[in-house]
Chain A
Amino acid sequence: MKNVKVLGSGCKRCIATGDMIRQEAERLGVPIELEKITDYAEIATYGIAATPGVVVDGKVVHAGGLPKQDSIAGWLQG
């Protein structure tokens, strides 16, 4: 089971990013555990500067703006 964290303090795009990841995981049939990190201090510890950020199994894979669907599939399957 992959652990996916969406970093962002509740902005519109952060919510959209979480939804996109959940949908893509369902589509691909990949079981994931989706977490939302909204605390600014905790977000900062991941070293990103723009939200939403995406962390897959402890590794930052994305920061700033909505991710591409292709990229999401890549993270979930990689």
Chain B
Amino acid sequence: MGALSSQSRPAAGDRLSGGGGPGLARGPSGGLNGRNALWVIATLAGLVVWFALYRQLEPLSYALIALLPVDARSNAGEALRFFIFDAPKVLMLLTLVVFGMSFVRSYFSAERTRAMLSGRSEGVGNILAAMLGIFTPFCSCSAVSLFIGFVSAGVPLGVTFSFLVAAPMINEVALGLLVGLVGWKVAALYLGFGLTLAILSGFVIGKLKLEGWLEPWVRDLRTTPVNLPPEDLTLADRLQAGVEGVKEIVGRVWIWMIVGIAAGAFIHGYIPADAIAALMGRDTWWATPVAVLVGVPMYSNAAGVIPIVEALIGKGLPLGTVLAFMMSVIALSLPEAIILRKVLSLRLLGVFFAIVALGVLAIGYLFNALF
């Protein structure tokens, strides 16, 4: 039980696992309850360390900035300041949020979600699918298997799409970083908009009755969903899943994060606020469509977009435009289209992208008009 599968994972996340030092709990376990207790204690200790460290970040960043040989008010100084403030903060937030979410996700599985969704009527099914999309473990690499698994087992097409929109877009990384960097109000808006978009776009696709536009082999496939016995996971196993999640996800997305923060730092330091506001401000009607058009083919993890979002909001860009940009980057991408092309006809893929992009656009306009 002590031997984790860590040899098959990237080791990059090791030093980042603030969520509950695995080294503490990897020792010999005295029975199941002893192991549980050990993990709970280690997790609590990890959380205390996390919060203690997090509270020190700001003074530490200030101290570091004071040491820099550049003028704090110059462009380079501003950019560096953004980077030095954001990089450790984002990294720590990411670690905490991924830990928590990987723990929660150990209670969900794609098979159980499917069982809850199959045979659901549209409407209720779309709402449920969008919500489950937040919590069900999802990886874009298994999006195709998931799609086939859902559709062939009798989950309506529109409901499947609601899930497929929500799962990548509303994720722990996006929400956690938005709360930490931009504030909980924007995070709540994002959550609300994302759910609405997933529910509505799936509902519209369902109403259009596009089942005939699936690739023929997918349409004709009928499978019996397998009924796996629930995995016998202890609390310690679930906490361990949290640490494993941190290793895997933080180990994978940190590079996106650095690139995103660097881009955000550049915007913050070098792009004059009045220029951006004049070009893409509230009075420019085409700002939101351009943001969506630029965002759709772009592929980035949420960890990479949010520092950019933070910088753009800081420059005074309207929130609706910025959120539309962020949603289109995360929800739709070229690589995803290429993967999904294996199961969707080109027409269906086009309809899917068009509906989601239009939905994002509508949300952006609506928000800018209302606030």
Chain B residues lying within 8 Å of A63, measured Cβ to Cβ, are 109-111, 226, 228
Residue B145 lies at the interface, judged by CB distance under 8 Å to chain A? yes
Query: Would you call A69 and B114 a contact (CB within 8 A)?
Result: no
Q: What CA separation (Å) do A45 and B149 show in the bound complex?
A: 9
Cβ proximity bits B121-155 to A, threshold 8 Å, 1 near / 0 not: 00000000000000001010110111011101100
Q: Is there a chain A Cβ closer than 8 Å to B284's Cβ?
A: no
Residues of B within 8 A of A7 (CB): 145
Q: Say yes or no: is A28 at the interface (Cβ < 8 Å to chain B).
A: no
State A5–B342 Cα separation when bound (angstroms). 23
Q: In this complex, what residue of B is CB-closest to A12?
A: B141
Q: Which residues of B contact A46 (CB under 8 A)?
A: 223, 226
Decide if A43 is an interface residue (CB 8 Å cutoff).
Answer: yes
* A48–B111 touching, CB < 8 Å: yes
By a CB distance below 8 angstroms, the chain B residues around A62 are: 228
* A-chain residues with CB within 8 Å of residue B139 when the two chains form the complex: 11, 13
Known contacts A63-B109, A63-B228, A49 near B343 by CB under 8 Å: no
Q: With both chains docked as a complex, state the minimum distance between the C-beta of B42 and any C-beta of chain A, in angstroms.
A: 19
> Are B144 and A69 interface neighbours, CB within 8 A?
no
Report Cα–Cα, A51/B145, bound state, in Å: 7
Query: B63 at the A/B interface (Cβ < 8 Å)?
Result: no
Q: Is the CB of B223 within 8 A of A50?
A: no
CB distance A40 to B342 under 8 Å? Answer: yes
Residues A48 and B145 in contact, CB atoms below 8 Å apart: yes
Q: Is the CB of B228 within 8 A of A60?
A: yes
Q: Within 8 Å of chain B (Cβ to Cβ): is A44?
A: yes
- Choose the segment among B1-9, B256-264, B345-353 that binds chain A (4+ C-beta atoms closer than 8 Å): B1-9
**Which residues of chain A come closer than 8 Å to B114, judged between CB atoms?**
49
- The chain A residue sitting closest to B4, CB to CB, is A69
Please, how many angstroms separate the alpha-carbon atoms of A16 and B153 in the complex?
27
A43 CA to B225 CA, complexed, in Å: 12
CA distance A7 to B148 in the complex (A): 14
Chain B residues with CB under 8 Å of A40's CB are 144-145, 148, 342-343
Q: Say whether B56 faces chain A, with CB atoms less than 8 Å apart.
A: no
Query: Could you say which residues of chain A place their CB within 8 Å of the CB of B237?
Result: 68
Interface centre among A16, A49, A60, A66 (most CB of B within 10 A): A49
Interface string of B93-133 (1 = CB under 8 A from A): 00000000000000001110110000000000000000000
| B: interface residue count bin | 20 to 34
**Residue numbers in A under 8 Å from B150 (CB-CB):** 49
The docked-state distance in angstroms from the alpha carbon of A3 to that of B244 is 29
> B223 contacts which chain A residues (CB < 8 A)?
44-47
**B146 interface neighbour in A19, A20, A49, Cβ under 8 Å:** A49
Tell me, in angstroms, the Cα distance from A66 to B9 when the chains sit together: 11
CA distance A57 to B115 in the complex (A): 25
- CB of B148 to closest CB in A, whole Å: 4
Question: Could you say which residues of chain A place their CB within 8 Å of the CB of B137?
Answer: 50, 64-65
Q: Is the CB of B141 within 8 A of A44?
A: no
Structural contact, B221 and A48, CB atoms closer than 8 A: no
Task: Please tell me if the beta carbons of B228 and A44 are within 8 angstroms of each other in the complex.
Answer: no
Q: Is A41 an interface residue (CB 8 A)?
A: yes
Alpha-carbon distance A16/B231, docked complex (angstroms):
20
Closest A-B pairs by Cβ, 9 of them: A49-B149, A50-B110, A47-B226, A11-B141, A49-B110, A44-B148, A16-B8, A51-B142, A60-B226
- 14 pairs, A vs B, C-beta closer than 8 Å: A11-B139, A11-B141, A11-B142, A13-B141, A19-B8, A41-B217, A44-B148, A45-B221, A45-B223, A48-B111, A48-B145, A64-B110, A66-B244, A68-B237
In the complex, given contacts A11-B139, A43-B145, A65-B137, what are 12 additional A-B residue pairs having Cβ atoms less than 8 angstroms apart? A8-B142, A9-B141, A16-B5, A20-B5, A41-B148, A41-B217, A46-B226, A50-B111, A60-B228, A63-B226, A69-B5, A71-B231
